[in-house]
Chain A
Amino acid sequence: GESVGLHLPTLSVQEGDNSIINCAYSNSASDYFIWYKQESGKGPQFIIDIRSNMDKRQGQRVTVLLNKTVKHLSLQIAATQPGDSAVYFCAENAVTGNQFYFGTGTSLTVIP
């Protein structure tokens, strides 16, 4: 079955530094990926998405990179701020299905 995993369960960065959160996926048929941010007591919030016909997409302070060769996804957060402290999930959606598979999450802590 599909599996979406994260390399690191926790990540601590200094305020102002860049953060990189990684994610591996196993379903080569997946063609749509989303990064979500979940703050304590809240539901996941959309950050950025990317389709399999792209290898990079940029948003405001965030960049998602997709490497289909090694089935790897990463989220880069520039100039990390205390408000970025949260759990980050990657999710994949296979072209043949309507359900998303989520990773276990990486907890990002920003040190002021």
Chain B
Amino acid sequence: KAGVTQTPRYLIKTRGQQVTLSCSPISGHRSVSWYQQTPGQGLQFLFEYFSETQRNKGNFPGRFSGRQFSNSRSEMNVSTLELGDSALYLCASSEGQGLNTGELFFGEGSRLTVL
């Protein structure tokens, strides 16, 4: 069974631009979560989707948004990029049937650099 796939793996943007990151979860997994990881910090929760619905959202500004498609693939978008948005963005999938989503399976991440 293929793991969580994230694209692109690396990208460079300039301030003010917007970016879209993609995540394909493990086959059969309906929950997709997004996390931001910056140097010296832990993983910060962005949002979680289940069956195309956002179930939870972290404390990030409205410039960060996401969506999930009927095939469980997910995208996240960051608009009006700032230097502080430079980070590794990690996607994780899980079966997510109940409130306790269970083990998260992470992808390799998309490393975003904002210049």
Q: Which A residues have a C-beta under 8 Å from some C-beta of B?
A: 4, 31-32, 34, 36, 41-46, 49, 89, 91, 93, 95-105
**A46 touching B50 by the CB < 8 A rule?**
no
Q: Which B residues have a C-beta under 8 Å from some C-beta of A?
A: 4, 31, 33, 35, 40-45, 48, 50, 55-56, 58, 90, 92, 96, 99-109
Distance of A4 Cα from B42 Cα, bound (Å): 9
**B42 touching A99 by the CB < 8 A rule?**
no
Please give the distance in Å from B109's CB to the nearest CB on chain A. 5
Please give the distance in Å from B102's CB to the nearest CB on chain A. 8
The interface residues of chain B lying within 8 Å CB-to-CB of A91 are: 43, 104
Distance of A29 Cα from B41 Cα, bound (Å): 23
Most buried by B among A44, A46, A96, A97: A44
Distance of A97 Cα from B58 Cα, bound (Å): 11
Residue of B nearest to A4 (CB): B42
